[in-house]
């Protein structure tokens, strides 16, 4: 199916533009920043990309807390590289939001003022070094399930950013799993530490896929627009199916007595998720929400002089070059 050619000489006709937009989506082609797009599509994308960018930046905090306490130089180097990657992911994503006309500083203000959200998972504290491993294995694992289909998202800059992000996420997951395998081969105390971290992170990681499909009002629209490729419940199931065999190899127990393989469907069945907990954490009442936002606020305020200085330098540099 190919899009009908637009008559460039004619005044813009919204219905013709919409037809071309719909045809581009239906053909599986990308929408690019120069293309006309419905306002709802632009707004939905800005909201989703901003929320994603904020998650990458806030997500640096729980693991960043362990940078000075990493148990060896090797672990410190790995963790430092991982946390820096997350900063990079945030930057690609803010840049993708800018192609839609959003302003990066404005998005940060909205995050700090609680007008835009970030992933609920980063509102849980990291209590031991095993949490670093479990975040890599489960949280980055869930992020991979969510993000691989976004490499085929209908908006070009978002889809392209996701390709590199996903490559880095797979390194993140492997470093976490390798850390956990090492700890599981260690002392009984280390094994108990891993099990405790798995007990605390398993259910919140299932919540990362968002509310169930019958309580996710915007999902259908996002799927019709090709922004989203699979429903929340489909992705959650994929994540459970992927994680259970990995838990077995690791030798940990996932904290769900209802978890069982269903030979008929070929999927693992799992217990009921506490959606009230997700609502509580998303609405700002998780264990670390206030701390995460306070730290992001002081990073913005304390480092404002760097942006001012860099901007003044860039202006001066452009003026000198123009002489």
Positions in the binding site for Fe ion (CB under 5 A): 56, 86, 89, 140, 169, 172
Between 100 and 135, whose beta carbon lies closer to Fe ion? 135
Between 176 and 286, whose beta carbon lies closer to Fe ion? 176
Kindly state the smallest distance separating residue 262's Cβ from Fe ion, in Å.
30
* Residues 118 and 293 sit within 8 Å (Cβ to Cβ): no
Using the CB atoms, write b or e for 31-55: b if 16+ within 10 Å. Answer: beeeebbeeebbebbbbbbbbbbbb
Cβ atoms within 10 Å of 313's Cβ, excluding its own: 10
Between 25 and 166, whose beta carbon lies closer to Fe ion? 166
Between 146 and 219, whose beta carbon lies closer to Fe ion? 146
CA distance linking residue 38 with residue 158, whole number of Å: 17
CA distance linking residue 209 with residue 201, whole number of Å: 14
As given in the structure block, the two tokens for residue 194 are 């891993």
Kindly state the smallest distance separating residue 136's Cβ from Fe ion, in Å.
8
Kindly state the smallest distance separating residue 252's Cβ from Fe ion, in Å.
21
Give Dmax (Cα) for the chain. Answer: 75
Kindly state the smallest distance separating residue 311's Cβ from Fe ion, in Å.
27
Kindly state the smallest distance separating residue 97's Cβ from Fe ion, in Å.
15
CA distance linking residue 66 with residue 78, whole number of Å: 12
Between 131 and 140, whose beta carbon lies closer to Fe ion? 140
Kindly state the smallest distance separating residue 64's Cβ from Fe ion, in Å.
13
CA of 50: how far to CAs of 98, 112, 114, in Å?
10, 12, 13
Between 89 and 296, whose beta carbon lies closer to Fe ion? 89
């Amino acid at each position: 199916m190919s899009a009908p050619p637009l008559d460039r000489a004619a005044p813009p006709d919204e219905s013709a533009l919409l037809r071309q937009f719909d045809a581009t989506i239906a053909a599986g082609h990308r929408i690019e920043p120069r293309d006309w797009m419905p306002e709802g599509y632009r707004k939905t994308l800005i909201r989703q990309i901003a929320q994603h960018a904020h998650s990458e930046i806030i997500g640096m905090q729980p693991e960043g807390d362990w940078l000075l306490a990493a148990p060896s130089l090797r672990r410190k180097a790995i963790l430092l590289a991982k946390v820096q990657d997350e900063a990079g992911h945030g930057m690609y994503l803010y840049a993708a939001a800018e192609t839609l006309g959003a302003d990066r500083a404005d998005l940060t203000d909205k995050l700090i003022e609680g007008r835009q959200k970030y992933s609920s998972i980063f509102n849980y504290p990291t209590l031991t070094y095993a949490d670093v491993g479990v975040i890599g294995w489960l949280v980055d694992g869930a992020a991979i399930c969510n993000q691989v289909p976004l490499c085929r998202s209908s908006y070009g800059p978002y889809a392209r950013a996701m390709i590199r992000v996903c490559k880095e996420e797979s390194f993140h997951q492997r470093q976490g799993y390798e850390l956990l395998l090492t700890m599981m081969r260690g002392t009984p105390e280390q094994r108990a530490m891993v099990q405790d971290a798995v007990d605390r992170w398993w259910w919140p990681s299932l919540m990362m896929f968002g509310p169930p499909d019958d309580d996710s009002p915007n999902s259908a629209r996002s799927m019709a627009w090709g922004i989203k490729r699979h429903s929340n419940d489909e992705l959650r199931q994929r994540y459970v199916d992927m994680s259970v065999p990995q838990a077995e190899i690791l030798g940990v127990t996932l904290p769900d007595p209802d978890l069982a393989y269903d030979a008929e469907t070929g999927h693992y069945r799992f217990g009921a998720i506490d959606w009230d907990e997700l609502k509580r954490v998303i609405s700002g009442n998780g264990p670390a929400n206030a701390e995460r936002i306070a730290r992001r606020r002081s990073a913005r305020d304390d480092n404002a002089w760097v942006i001012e200085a860099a901007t003044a330098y860039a202006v001066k540099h452009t003026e000198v070059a123009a002489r």
